Structure 1
Amino acid sequence: MGDMPVFYVGQHESKRSAPVSEHVLQQAQDCNYDMLTTPITTSHFHSRVLTLLSSYQAEIEAGTPESDVPTPLVAPLTPADTPLSPSETISQLLAVTSPWIDLASPDPVIASLSLQVFNQEIAYAAFCGVGNVIVQGPSLHSICSGQGLPQYARAIQEALDMGPYLNLQILLPMAGDPSWDDSSAVMGDLGPFARPEYLQVSAEEQRQEEKPSQLQSWDAWNVIRSICKYSSRLSVALSLPRHLPAMSLQSRWCSEPLRLLVLPGSSFLENKLGYPVLSKPNQAFIARCMRLKTPPWLLLSDVGPIPGLNDPDSLIPVADGYLSASAAADAGDTQSPSPTPAEAARQPQQKQAQKTKNDPTPHLSYIRYLQRNQPPKSLIERFGSGYQDYLQSPLQPLTDNLESITYEVFEKDPIKYEWYERAIAQALRDWKAQSKTTSSSSGAVVVAVVGAGRGPLVTRALRASETTGVAIEAWAVEKNPNAYVLLQRHNEDTWKRQVTVVKSDMRAWKGPHGEDGTHGKVDILVSELLGSFADNELSPECLDGVQHVLNPEHGISIPSLYTAHLTPIAAPRLHADILHRLPSDPQAFDLPYVVMLHAIDFLSTKATPPAPPQDPSQQSKKSRKSMSSPQDQEQPESDIQQAWQFSHPLPAKILAQSHLRRGGSAAGGGGGATGGDGANEHNARFSRTRFQCPSRGVCHGLAGYFETVLYAGGADGEVELSTNPATMEAKSKDMISWFPIFFPLKTPIYLPDGADVEVSMWRQTDDRKVWYEWLVEAFVELGGRRVRLGISEMHSSKKNGCLM
Structure 2
Amino acid sequence: MIKNQQQSKQVSYQDLHPSVSPQPGSAEEAAESSDFDSFNSIATPNVKIGIKPLPLTSALVQSDRTLVESLHSLGYDCVLLPVTNSRYKQNCKNYFLRYKRRYFRNASGLASETGPHDSASASDFSGYSNNNREAQLFDNIRSSSPEGLWIDNEDDDDFGANKGYDLDLLNVPHPKLDEINIITGPHISKTVGLLSSWIELDNEDRLINEFSIQVLTNEVSYAQYVGIRTLLMAPPKNLNNLQIYTDNLNTILQKFPKMQLSISLPICEDTKQNPDTGEALPMIDPFSTWDVWNSIRIQCNYNPNLSISLGSPKTNVPQTVVNRWLLEPVRFYLLSSYRFIPNSKNYPVLNKFNQLIIWKLIQRKALYPPTLLLHGVDKENSSIFKQRDSRLSSSSASLGSQGKGETSSSLKNSVVVTVDGKQVFLGDLSYLEYVRYLVNVSYKNNQLLPLENFTLNGFMSQNLSPDQISSPNSLQSPLEPLTSSLDNNTYRVFEQDHAKYDFYGRAITAALMDLSNLHRFNHLKPSDSYGTTAYNTSAVSLANNQRRASIVSDSSATKQDSGTLRILVVGPGRGPLIERLFSSLQTLNLKMECIKIMAIEKNPDVMIYLRRLNQDHWGNKVEIFNCDARYWRPTSPQNQGFNLVISELLGSFGCNELAPECLDSIAQYCDPQDSVFIPSEFSTYIGPAISPALYGKVSRLNDPSKFDRPYLPLWDEFDILSSKYAKVWTFRHSSNGLRQHKENTGHQFANKHNRRQSHTTLKCHRKGTIHGLIGYFSAVLYKNIILSTCPTGTGPVPVNLVSWLPFYLPIEQPIHLADEQELSVFIKRECQGDRVWYEWSMEAFIYLLLPQNRSDTLRNNSYTDIDMDGDESQVRVRTGVTRIHNPNGSHSYMRLC
Could you say which residue in structure 1 is the equivalent of 2:78?
Answer: 35
Q: C-alpha offsets along residues 563-608 of structure 1, whole Å, 9 cap, x if unaligned? A: 0001011100011111111x2x211111111224552122113xxx
**Is contact 1:20–1:38 with CA below 8 Å preserved after alignment?**
no
Which residue among 242, 246, 254 is the counterpart of 1:161?
254
What is the correspondence of 1:248-263 to structure 2 with a 5 Å cutoff?
248-263=320-335
Q: Distance in 1 between matches of 2:656 and 2:165?
A: 68
In structure 1, how many angstroms separate the alpha carbons of the residues matched to 2:63 and 2:646? 67
Output the TM-score relative to the length of structure 2.
Answer: 0.71
**Secondary structure of the structure 2 residue equivalent to 1:147:** helix
Q: What letter corresponds to residue 742 of structure 1 in structure 2?
A: Y
Q: Deviations over 1:288-334 (max 9, x none)?
A: 111123211110012216997997253553789xxxxxxxxxxxxxx
CA distance in 2, matches of 1:658, 1:579: 48
Q: What does 1:472-551 align with in structure 2 at a 5 Å threshold?
A: 472-511=595-634, 513-514=635-636, 519-551=639-671
2:893 alignment counterpart: 801
Conserved 8 A contact 1:658-1:682: no
Alpha-carbon shift at residue 38 of structure 1 (Å): 1.3
From 136, 156, 164, the equivalent of 2:234 is 136
Secondary structure in structure 2 of the residue aligned to 1:466: helix
* Distance in 2 of aligned mates of 1:383 and 1:290: 15
Tell me what 2:881 maps to.
791
Within 5 Å, give how 1:101-116 maps onto structure 2. Answer: 101-116=199-214
1:479, distance to aligned residue in structure 2 (A): 1.6
How high is the sequence identity, in percent, across the aligned residues?
31
* Correspondence for 1:572 among 687, 692, 698: 692
1:454 to 574, 594, 598: 574
**Match of residue 221, structure 1, among 281, 288, 293:** 293
* Contact 1:756/1:778 (<8 A) preserved: yes
Distance 1:434 1:123, change over 3 A: same
Residue 217 of structure 2 is aligned to residue 149 of structure 1: no
Q: CA deviation at 1:531?
A: 0.3
Distance 1:65 1:396 in 2: 68
* Correspondence for 1:398: 482
CA contact (8 A) 1:91 1:129 kept: yes
- The question of 1:294 aligning with 2:368 is answered yes
Q: Is the 8 A contact 2:682 2:778 kept in 1?
A: yes
1:785 is aligned with what amino acid?
V
Match of 2:819 in 1: 753
> Which amino acid in structure 2 is aligned with residue 235 of structure 1?
S
Counterpart-to-counterpart distance in 2, 1:682 and 1:19? 78
Q: Separation in 2 of the partners of 1:319 and 1:420? A: 56
2:846 to 780, 783, 791: 780
Amino acid at match of 2:777: F
Aligned equivalents of 1:439 and 1:456: distance in 2?
28
| Secondary structure, aligned partner of 2:660 | helix
Alignment match of 1:362 (pick from 427, 430, 433): 430
Does the 8 Å contact 1:410/1:737 carry over to 2? yes
Instruction: Provide, for residues 176-230 of structure 1, a one-character-per-residue CA deviation record: whole Å limited to 9, x for no partner.
Output: 3489xxxxxxxxxxxxxxxxxxxxxxxxxxxxxx995222211111111111111
The Cα offsets for residues 749-772 of structure 1, whole Å up to 9 and x where unpaired, read as 111111111111110111302111
| Contact 2:672-2:735 within 8 A present in 1 as well | no
Supply the distance in 2 between the matched residues of 1:83 and 1:651 (Cα, whole angstroms): 80
1:695 and 2:766 matched: yes
Would the aligned equivalents of 2:687 and 2:726 in 1 still touch at CA under 8 Å? yes
2:441 matched residue in structure 1: 373
Specify the structure having the higher radius of gyration (Cα).
2
Contact persistence 2:668–2:738 (CA under 8 A): no
Distance 1:454 1:53, change over 3 A: same
Q: Which amino acid aligns with 1:770?
A: V
Checking the alignment, whether the CA contact within 8 Å between 2:694 and 2:716 is kept in structure 1 is no
Distance 1:11 1:680 in 2: 63
Partner deviation per Cα, 1:32-91 (whole Å, 9 max, x = no partner): 000101111111011122334555436754334745455664222222221333333212
2:305 aligned partner: 233
Equivalent position to 1:421, from 505, 520, 526: 505
For residues 658 and 138 of structure 1, what CA distance do their matches in structure 2 show? 70
Aligned CA distance change for structure 1 residues 76 and 130 (closer, same or farther; 3 Å): same
- TM-superposed CA distance for 1:124, in Å, is 1.5
Note if contact 1:41-1:83 (Cα within 8 Å) is conserved in structure 2.
yes
Distance between the aligned counterparts of 2:744 and 2:479, measured in 1?
Answer: 27
Q: Hey, what does 2:183 align to over in structure 1?
A: 85
Using the alignment, how far apart are the partners of 1:774 and 1:290 within structure 2? 35
**2:258 aligned partner, one-letter code:** Y
**SS across alignment from 2:252:** helix
| More moved, 359-368 vs 445-454 | 359-368
Q: 1:69 to 1:311 in 2, by over 3 A?
A: closer
Kept in 2, the 8 Å contact 1:258–1:296? The answer is yes
- In the TM superposition, residue 22 of structure 1 has moved relative to its aligned partner by 2.5
Instruction: Tell me the amino acid that sits aligned with residue 398 of structure 1.
Output: L
Partner Cα separation in structure 1 for residue 829 and residue 188 of structure 2: 54
Q: What is the DSSP-based 3-state SS (H/G/I as helix, E as strand, rest coil) of the residue aligned with 1:290?
A: helix
Structure 1 segment 203-352 matched on structure 2, within 5 A: 213-291=285-363, 292=365, 293-304=367-378, 312-317=406-411
Whether the aligned pair in 1 keeps the contact of 2:686 and 2:727 (CA below 8 Å) is yes
Query: Is residue 255–residue 600 contact of structure 1 (8 Å, CA) maintained in 2?
Result: yes
| 156-165 vs 29-38, greater mean Cα deviation | 156-165
- Extract unaligned runs of 5+ from structure 1: 180-209, 321-355, 606-638, 664-677, 713-717
Matched residue, 2:864: none
What CA distance in whole angstroms lies between the structure 2 residues aligned with 1:435 and 1:730?
37
Specify which of 738, 753, 761 is matched with residue 804 of structure 2.
738
Indicate whether 1:586 and 2:680 are aligned: no
What SS does the corresponding residue of 2:265 show, helix, strand or coil? strand
Distance in 2 of aligned mates of 1:730 and 1:393: 22
- CA shift at 1:475, angstroms? 1.0
Give 3-state SS (helix, strand or coil) of 1:415's partner.
helix
The residue that corresponds to 2:93 in the other structure is 50
- SS of the residue corresponding to residue 149 of structure 1 reads helix
Contact 1:41–1:81 (CA under 8 A) maintained in structure 2: yes
Q: Which amino acid aligns with 1:63?
A: G
How far apart in 1 are the matches of 2:204 and 2:407? 51
Inter-partner Cα distance in structure 1 for 2:737 and 2:310: 60
- Output the amino acid matched with 1:122: V
**Of 500-509 and 648-657, the range deviating more from structure 2:** 648-657
Amino acid in the other structure paired with 1:380: L
Q: Please state how far the C-alpha of 1:510 moved relative to its aligned partner.
A: 2.1
- Alignment partners' CA distance in 2, 1:5 and 1:318: 25
User: Is contact 1:417-1:457 (8 Å) kept?
Assistant: yes
Within 5 Å, which residues of 2 pair with 1:546-695? 546-581=666-701, 583=702, 585-596=703-714, 598-605=716-723, 639-649=724-734, 651-652=736-737, 656-657=741-742, 660=745, 662=747, 679-695=750-766
The normalised TM-score by structure 1 is 0.79
Structure 2 residue matching 1:148: 3-state secondary structure = helix
**Per-residue deviation, residues 691-711 of structure 1 (Å, max 9, x unmatched):** 111121100111111000011
The CA distance in 1 between the partners of 2:373 and 2:229, in whole Å, is 16
The amino acid across from 2:76 in the alignment is Y
User: What value does the CA root-mean-square deviation take over the aligned residues?
Assistant: 2.8
Alpha-carbon spacing, 1:645–1:597, altered in 2? closer, same or farther (3 Å): farther
Give the whole-Å Cα distance in 2 for the aligned partners of 1:410 and 1:438: 36
Aligned partner letter, 2:378: G
Q: Which amino acid aligns with 1:46?
A: K
User: Is contact 2:92-2:173 (8 Å) kept?
Assistant: no
Structure 1 counterpart of 2:484, which letter?
Answer: D
Instruction: Letter of the 2:88 partner, please give it.
Output: F
Question: Residue 679 and residue 27 in structure 1: after superposition, are their counterparts in 2 closer, same or farther (change >3 A)?
Answer: same
Aligned length: 676
Query: Does the 8 A contact of 1:592 with 1:742 survive in 2?
Result: yes
Query: CA separation in 1, counterparts of 2:251 and 2:266?
Result: 23
Alignment counterpart, residue 516 of structure 2, candidates 432, 436, 445: 432
